[in-house]
Amino acid sequence: MRERVAAVFTGRVLEGRGRRWNEWVSWLYLQLLNEIDLLRKLGLKFDASMRLQLALRLLKTSIGSFNCTSVDKAGALVVEKLSPRWIQTCMEARQIHLRTKSGKTQVSPEKQVSIEREVAAHLGELEKLLKSGQLNEETI
């Protein structure tokens, strides 16, 4: 019995399983993916609300088949369906995670090296002042 359950479960997570995306969702997903990839290469870090703003801008500036006046099959405006949670769910469905789970803001590797150098320089200056006697370790 357990083997059958495991087989059914893994079958559901395979690519192409589950509900089909609407045409506008597929279009917006590809546009978002391209734009996020481009901006991420420039060093910009995203969260769900920033991705929402990007999606809204893509719809407002689009001259293609989907724009800010597009409606879905039920007649609802596409723009009104978008929310930070919708964007997050859409990205997680395709296993795209752009932020760490810790919630800390990420910095580029170059910025991290720069920060480490500045800290090392500051600690070096403190060490020199302590050794020369200009600073008292007890007062710090």
Predicted pLDDT of residue 7: 46
Confidence at residue 106, expressed as pLDDT on a 0 to 100 scale: 74
Is the pLDDT assigned to residue 120 strictly greater than 80? yes
CA distances from 55 to 42, 50, 68, 88, 92 (A): 18, 9, 10, 12, 16
Q: Which two tokens stand for residue 115?
A: 């920060």
Query: What tens digit of pLDDT does each residue of 11-34 get?
Result: 444 555 667 777 877 788 888 888
How distant, in Å, are the alpha carbons of 28, 54, 55, 57, 74 from that of 62? 10, 12, 10, 8, 22
Burial class (CB in 10 A: 0-12, 13-18, 19+), 138: exposed
Summarised one tens digit per residue, pLDDT across range 28-61 is: 888 888 887 888 888 777 777 788 888 888 888 8
pTM flag (> 0.85) = no
DSSP three-state, residue 129: helix
